[in-house]
Structure 1
Amino acid sequence: MTTATRSQFWHSDGRRLSGFATLLLLSPFFAIIGFVFIYPIGQLLYISFMEPVPTLDNYARVVTNPVYARVLLRTIWTAVLVTGLAVLLGFPVAYFMSRARGTVAALVGVCVILPLWSSVLVRTAAWSFLFQREGLVNSGLMAVGITSEPLKLLYTQGAVVVAMTHVLLPFMILPIFGSLRAIPNDYLRAAAVLGATRLRAFWEVILPLSLPGIASGSLLVFLTALGFFITPALLGSPQELMIATLVSQQIREVLDWPFASALVGVLTLFVTVLALVFSKTLRFDRLMGAQS
């Protein structure tokens, strides 16, 4: 290898790859992303604007038609509910994981990660059995005397929110856990020396330093919940339609590809803007739970 060629691939210190070499190594990754993600999204956006003729009517339908506008708002509201519930349930688990040691820590970690090894369809089907009229939830409520007859739990927004929270909870717990684990124990000892109680140390030390993990988990859960399909399709009702189910309906039943593409375009724009806002607010390493 000549000196000129070597300078293209290595920095002057001879230990680090140059930008050209790094880009060359990453080119297969970029090619795959472009083929399986950017190209299909681009095709959908092209269809939404250009078929049957160049027009913005498909996007106008999403905004002006009250039915489709309600579907979009319902999807966002459901994602907000799922995210809030995941924070409330996930933070105590992540905090306990960060303080546990040995076998207990390993057991809790397995309980958190284990659901990720099973299919979303399987977990959603399990919730459908729990929520049916003769299911375990209704049987338990009647057994303790809370209700005298079965409640309508299945095919409701509540069932969708609960099941989606269960599916997405690990994506909230793990970033918060990483953020909590990065907090040095010296901070808590210093707070105790200064006279802070455990509760005050939690509110003024642990919680503020864990906010990057909470923000990261909230972003992951919220963006994933926006495009959820299986759980709303199996547990929700036609009156509680969400945007992913509406897109599938427009493609498979109505065969209106331009309008379905416009729905995807609106959702993609919303997700992109939200991701950009988060990236400007918090650095990437802070989003991943690292402490500066």
Structure 2
Amino acid sequence: MRADGETTLAVGALSAGSAERREQWRHLALLLPALLALAALFVYPLLGILFRSFHKTSYTLEFYRQVFRTPVYLTVIGLTFRTAAIVTLICLALGYPLAYVLATVRPRLARALVIVVVLPFFTSIIVRTYAWMVLLGRNGIVNQYLVALGLAPAPLPLLYNAAGVVIGMTYVLLPLMVLTIWSVMRGIDPALVRAAHSLGASPAQAFRRIYLPLSAAGIAGGTLLVFLLSLGFFITPALMGGPSDVMIAMLIEREVEFTLNWSFASTLAVVLLVLTLAGFVVYNRLVRLERLFEGRS
């Protein structure tokens, strides 16, 4: 009887193991189309860019040496990261209060405000950029109001410079910051803040010690998303920036379209990718993203 019981247990374990393997293969089969599409549309082009950065007529590192030996390319890379950082900070400063309002007002009003936030996505980015060019021009509405209200003695240069680039990029990326932070804030239990108030905490103390830490995952996700997208921005800087506001995406476009130097353009793209990944590693070390998102879950 004991041998029969052991045999039954062994057979059950084998059938359970085979069922688990079949389930794993079924999951893999469901993922296979997505994996093939990812390999064809992302991995293969990325490997092609990496290959071209090392090879033109033969294998060489000359393009990488050219990037780091030429001051103008280093200046463009620095300008790109500086602009991305400024846009990210402005989006955070404007987006956090708006996300807080969305998370704390009545649901019906919150839905209406979310529609307002999402509405710009239904318009082409080129159309929105040209609209801002009209608004920020010397004879645009913004300058007319500034002069009429006495806030400026003459029309301000708000276009074709760094200010125009920052304003345009902030407008485009601000909804992403708002939605990312709001998605975390809406999951925060209001009872926690009320409990802090009942224990004698002031509104500022409750916000600083309860609400802000709980929304830190949204801040981390929003800033990371906006910063990474800012690094590759092309249309807005190209239309609203001046000759001294060249970002690396614009430099890559010029190498491809005008000089037809695909190898050097690929080198610039690889340098941007490596620097972005290095920045992400540093950001992760400072912010500890895994702890934030584990805390959220």
Compute the TM-score of the two structures, normalised by the length of structure 1.
0.90
Paired residue for 2:74? 69
**Letter aligned with residue 179 of structure 1:** V
Q: Does 1:131 align with 2:131?
A: no
Q: Which runs of 5+ in 2 are unaligned?
A: 1-11
Query: 1:157 matched to which residue of 2?
Result: 162
Alignment partner, residue 283 of structure 1: 290
Q: 1:35 Cα shift?
A: 1.2
| Cα offset, 1:10, TM superposition | 4.8
Following superposition, the deviation at residue 267 of structure 1 comes to 1.0
Inter-partner Cα distance in structure 2 for 1:284 and 1:230:
36
> Which residue does the alignment assign to 1:258?
263
Q: d(CA) in 2 for partners of 1:39 and 1:276? A: 24
Q: How does 1:112-131 map to 2 (within 5 A)?
A: 112-131=117-136
Kindly indicate whether the alpha-carbon contact (under 8 Å) linking 1:183 and 1:291 is maintained by their aligned counterparts in 2: no
In structure 1, how many angstroms separate the alpha carbons of the residues matched to 2:55 and 2:35? 27
Structure 1 runs not aligned, ≥5 long: none
Residue among 155, 177, 183 paired with 2:182: 177
Counterpart for residue 209 of structure 2 = 204
Percent identity, aligned pairs only, is 40
Cα distance in 2 for residues equivalent to 1:270 and 1:7 = 47
Q: Which residue of 2 aligns with 1:193?
A: 198
AA of the residue aligned to 2:289: L
**Alpha-carbon contact 1:8-1:21 (below 8 Å) kept:** no
Cα distance, 1:284 vs. partner?
9.1
- Aligned-partner Cα distance in 2 for 1:83–1:136: 26
Larger radius of gyration: 2
The alpha-carbon deviation at position 283 of structure 1 amounts to: 2.6
Match of 1:236 among 238, 241, 246: 241
Which secondary structure does the structure 2 equivalent of 1:11 belong to?
helix
TM-score, with normalisation over the residues of structure 2?
0.89
1:141 corresponds to which residue?
146
Find the residue that maps to 2:138 and give its secondary structure: coil
1:11 paired residue number: 20
Number of residue equivalences: 284
Q: CA deviation at 1:276?
A: 4.7
State the SS of the aligned residue for 2:215: helix
Query: Which segment is superposed worse, 105-114 or 51-60?
Result: 51-60
Q: Distance in 2 between matches of 1:187 and 1:176?
A: 18
